[in-house]
Structure 1
Amino acid sequence: MLTKKEIEQLIDKKNSSLKIVKPTVTPKSSAAWNSFSHIYVNNIKQEYVICNQCEELLIYKPSSGTNSLSKHISSCQKVKTTASHNQTTINQFYASSKNEPAIPDRVKQEINVACVEFTALDSRSFKTIHGIGFKNLAQKIFDAGKYLPISKDINVEKLLPHPTTVRMIFFNLL
């Protein structure tokens, strides 16, 4: 069985060994199964299911029942939004007209947490992440991913220069 993080990585990479399968719903099945799909990796059923609305992974064991799935449905923001609004909002309309790819909520959440950790661990102002220099650095690191092999895990420390190198380049630019 894979961990949640390993499954999330397979989903993000659209790995062909991963299959998301909607369960067969019978009259005896819980209504919760209409909102979830099973996760299979190399045709082995994992102990996780995925919410069809928000794509959150939840641990699921048949012995535990579907109570946690039902609780997720009642708190899932995407389900609430979809159920309560049939009309497209202006934000949704303009967002769909952009050519930018949608960023999964899970990725945004991980970046949010990393920004909080960055500001706390390095004693930086919260405004630091909104600065031009930080955005430029983040974009360059992100763009570097285009040139690196996807199948390899890259240690970001190998991408970042030593502080003395930064100092030397800074003074050479003056």
Structure 2
Amino acid sequence: MCMEQLLVLVCGSRDCCMASLFPGLNGFLFVCLSQSNLCFGSKMALRLNEGDEVEIEPDPATWTALEEELYIQLMVKEVHKGNRSSTTFSRKGWKQIEQEFCEKTNKRYNNSQFRNKFNQLRTRFNDFSKLLKEPGFTWEPVLSTVTATDAVWESYIKIGFR
């Protein structure tokens, strides 16, 4: 497989000025220098399948709290632009999120990783909302945390989460 084909698979574009694969312990690190910014692909395992095609398996995405916050801000921005249907973002919206996230963090996650994070955040939000609806739980804005008495927490834990 040539570099141009790898660019399309990993970067989603052939428009890079320079791209390189560097050997690592668990595969390769892909570096793409586009006309506007530098993006690093996550470490990837590159292997040949039976048809001698390269299969790329990115490492699981790791997110810092600041990256999660940025991701949420980017999603809100796309909602305001009208790039979200009833339950998910349009292709244009996802592309914008991916591109801006890479520009600001120099990390390139694939669409599946962004969608997984979106679903994780939605689940956390739903769990959080349910907790606040339970009797005895309140939101403390100064501390940015949920508060309840020890008895309320013990009772909630006894009956089980969710």
State the TM bucket, normalised to the shorter chain.
under 0.3
Q: TM-score of the superposition, structure 1-length normalised?
A: 0.24
Q: Which structure's relative contact order is higher, taking Cα pairs within 8 Å and 6+ residues apart?
A: 2
Higher percent of residues as helix: 1
Give the structure with the larger strand fraction.
2
Give the TM-score taking structure 2 as reference length.
Answer: 0.25
